[in-house]
Amino acid sequence: MPSGRVHNLINLAAYAALAAGALAASRHDLIGVTPAQALTFTLGFMAGTFLLSPDLDLSEGRVDSKRRWGVLGFVWVPYGRLFSHRGLSHTWLLGPLTRLAYVAALLGLVAGLVRAAFPAWPWPALPEPVGLKFAAPLLLGYYLSQWLHLIADGVHPDHGVRHSLRKLRRR
Ligand SMILES: [Zn+2]
Looking at 40-44, 114-118, 156-160, which range is the least confident one?
Answer: 156-160
Whole-number Å distance, alpha carbon 71 to ligand 1 midpoint, is 23
pLDDT digit string, tens, across residues 51-61 = 999 999 998 88
- DSSP-assigned letters across all residues of 15-27: HHHHHHHHHHHHH
Whole-number Å distance, alpha carbon 10 to ligand 1 midpoint, is 13
Q: Residue 164: pLDDT band by 50, 70, 90 thresholds?
A: low
| 53 within 8 A of 64, measured Cβ to Cβ | yes
pLDDT digit string, tens, across residues 98-141 = 999 999 999 999 988 988 888 887 777 666 667 777 889 999 99
Q: Residue 30: pLDDT band by 50, 70, 90 thresholds?
A: confident
Whole-number Å distance, alpha carbon 75 to ligand 1 midpoint, is 19
* Percent of the chain whose pLDDT exceeds 70: 89
Q: Residue 167: pLDDT band by 50, 70, 90 thresholds?
A: low
Whole-number Å distance, alpha carbon 107 to ligand 1 midpoint, is 25
Q: Nearest-CA neighbor of 161 among 112, 105, 72, 92?
A: 92
Q: Residue 158: pLDDT band by 50, 70, 90 thresholds?
A: confident
- DSSP-assigned letters across all residues of 130-156: PPHHHHHHHHHHHHHHHHHHHHHHT--
Whole-number Å distance, alpha carbon 4 to ligand 1 midpoint, is 8
